[in-house]
Each structure stands twice: as C-alpha cells, then as structure tokens.
C-alpha cells in the first residue's frame, strides 16, 4: 500500500504512515495537473498538501484512489459530489487548526487597529523621526462589537479571544443559529444585514462555496458600519478585492486584515499592500509547529483508514 504526498509534511504524519507499513513518495516539486495524474496512477492514496484542484476530471482520471486525504480543513478545491459518485472518500483536518487560525484573525484585527504593518514599514523606510501626538493613530477595540460570519470552530475561538481580551460583544450570522455557542459566548444571532450594520470588527470564518462566493462586495461593504474593520482568514473568494479597495479608498470602512487573497499569491505590487489601515499575511492561518504536526497526524490517519477500507476519522463525504 502506498501514498503520494504532494508536498513535504511534518515528520509526525510520515512516522505514522511508516509504522502502519505504508510507503510514501513526496513530490519533489509542485506538479502540473497532467503530470500529477500520471504520477498518482501507481499509488493507492493521495495526500494533498497544497490545494490540488481535484475537479471531476481529475478525480475521474484518478478513480482508482482508495482515499484522498487533504492537509487542510477547507475542501473547496475538491469536487466532493464527484468524489462521492466515484466512491473516493475525502478526509480533511477540522478542529486541530481552529485556535491557530483564530490567533491569526486576532493578530490581524489588532495589527489593523494599530496600523502595525504600516508603522513597521515607516521604520524601514527611514520615516520614524519624532513623537507625533496626532499622527498614525489607531482605534481601540475595548467593548466594541465583533461580528462573526460563520460561527463554526474557528469563529468560536476568535469570539472567545475577543471577549476575553477586549470584552467585545459578539454577534454572528450562520446558515442556522448555534445555541451552544450563543450560551458560551453570550453571542446573538443576527441577519446578514444586521451583521454588516452593527459590527465594529467583522471577521469572516465561513467556507467558500457557491453561496458565499463574492458575498462581501460593493453592496455589503457599503452597508458596513462606518469606521469598521474587515478581517478574512477563510478564503479570498468570499470578498471582492476591487470592492474592498473601493470601500477603503472611500473610507466606507476603516481597515482590513487579510490572511487569504484572490488570487494567491497576492501580487507584491497590489495597492492594498501600501495602505496604512491594511495588513495582509500570506495564508499562514494554521502555520504553527504544533498545528501543522496535528494536521499531519490527522491527514495520515485518514490515509491509513482509507487504505484499510475503514471509515475515515474525519471524512467530508460520509
């Protein structure tokens, strides 16, 4: 039994595969789709650690796979209906990355509120001269309202931090209310329109899907509270970048923090990177030693179960 791994993953996952008697091959570079299909032909399983676009065509060409294990919680890059039709179980890594990803949203919120990246660049550019009482002021977060779009595991962790650190009020919008989270966080379910209108910080934690694609557009930004901050650590496709830039230019909103962009990587010349109230990170939400180890273990366990013909511990298409 063998598995093809599209990128180097932490040793913790590789050791687990070895101990289970599964041999693995790690791609030496990112392979174009056709080459990947050709390579995967001689493997029983695929561990995708770099958002391989597993559309229906790819899955049909790889329909011999006993399991497709994703090194991510997100699975918007996989045609799940096609995988199910072809009998390929797809595993992901939910839960273990919630805290690290919420930490990244929190970091961006704070960095935007104090223009941290811009001020850091002022030093590099030799523009730190004297103390200025009214220059480059930020805004405080104490007692403000956090709006969570998508109160799942990651949104919950973000809300918990914001309550503990800044005593923020929590409102949220989901497809359906989440009573346990409401009780634990003293959170209030609101309509999408209310979320836009009432959030001082609006943090996006929802899946990317046809329903959420481009949801944060000109109209949505236009309906956000004046002086608010937009944070997205979910997927870049949820916001329209030109509309976000327009909202920042016209000061419809105060600032934005992004760990995800569309496309990725972001062009280094992107004008958003020069804006004082904008902080962008290169999709590092889950990038801690501890979290990546846990993701590797989870992804390996899904491979092992799939190759044994057992149900995957964390399956997307049960």
- List active site positions: 235, 264, 283
Phi, psi (5° rounding) for residue 157?
Answer: -65, -40
Identify which of residues 76 and 194 has a Cβ nearer to ligand DGY in the complex. Answer: 76
What distance in Å separates the CA atoms of residue 3 and residue 97, rounded to the nearest whole number? 23
Q: Does 266 bind ligand DGY (CB under 6 A)?
A: no
Q: Does 73 bind ligand DGY (CB under 6 A)?
A: yes
What distance in Å separates the CA atoms of residue 98 and residue 39, rounded to the nearest whole number? 33
Q: Could you tell me the smallest distance in angstroms from the CB atom of residue 46 to ligand DGY?
A: 17
Residues of this chain, 87-116, that bind ligand DGY according to CB under 6 A: 97
User: What does the CA dihedral 42, 43, 48, 50 come to, rounded to 10 degrees?
Assistant: -30
**Which of 10, 74, 147, 155 lies at the binding interface for ligand DGY (CB under 6 A)?**
74
- Which residue, among 229, 223, 178, 182, has the nearest Cα to 202 in the 3D structure? 229
**Which of 69, 169, 199, 286 lies at the binding interface for ligand DGY (CB under 6 A)?**
286
Identify which of residues 257 and 275 has a Cβ nearer to ligand DGY in the complex. Answer: 257
Coil, strand or helix at 173: strand
**Which of 155, 236, 237, 285 lies at the binding interface for ligand DGY (CB under 6 A)?**
285
Q: Does 294 bind ligand DGY (CB under 6 A)?
A: no
Contacts of 311 (CB under 8 A, 6+ apart): 89, 305, 318
Identify which of residues 94 and 171 has a Cβ nearer to ligand DGY in the complex. Answer: 94
Coil, strand or helix at 301: helix
Q: Does 238 bind ligand DGY (CB under 6 A)?
A: no
Question: Which residues would be at the binding site for ligand DGY (CB under 6 A)?
Answer: 72-74, 97, 285-286
């Amino acid at each position: 039994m063998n598995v093809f791994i599209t990128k180097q993953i932490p040793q913790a996952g590789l050791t687990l595969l070895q101990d289970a008697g599964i041999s693995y091959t790690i791609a030496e570079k990112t392979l174009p789709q056709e080459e990947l299909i050709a390579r995967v032909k001689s493997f029983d399983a695929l561990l995708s650690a770099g958002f391989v676009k597993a559309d229906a065509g790819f899955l049909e060409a790889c329909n011999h796979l006993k399991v497709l294990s994703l090194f991510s919680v997100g699975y918007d890059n996989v045609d799940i209906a096609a995988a199910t039709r072809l009998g390929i179980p797809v595993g992901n890594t939910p839960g273990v990355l919630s805290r690290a990803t919420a930490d990244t949203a929190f970091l961006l919120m704070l960095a935007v509120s104090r223009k941290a990246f811009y001020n850091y660049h002022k030093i590099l550019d030799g523009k730190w001269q004297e103390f200025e009482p009214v220059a480059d002021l930020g805004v405080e977060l104490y007692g403000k309202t956090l709006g969570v779009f998508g109160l799942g595991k990651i949104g919950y962790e973000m809300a918990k931090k914001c309550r503990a650190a800044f005593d923020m009020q929590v409102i949220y919008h989901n497809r359906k209310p989440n009573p346990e989270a409401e009780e634990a966080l003293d959170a209030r379910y609101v309509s999408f329109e209310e979320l836009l209108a009432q959030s001082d910080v609006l943090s996006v934690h929802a899946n990317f899907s046809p329903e959420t694609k481009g949801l944060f557009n000109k109209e949505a930004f236009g309906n956000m509270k004046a002086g608010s901050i937009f944070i997205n650590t979910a997927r870049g496709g949820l916001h329209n970048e030109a509309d976000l830039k327009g909202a920042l230019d016209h000061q419809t909103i105060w600032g934005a923090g992004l760990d995800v962009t569309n496309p990725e990587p972001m062009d280094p010349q992107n004008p958003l990177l020069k804006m004082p109230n904008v902080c962008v990170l290169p999709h590092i939400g889950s990038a801690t030693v501890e979290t990546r180890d846990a993701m590797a273990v989870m992804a390996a366990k899904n491979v092992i179960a799939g190759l044994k013909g057992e149900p995957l511990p964390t399956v997307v298409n049960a």
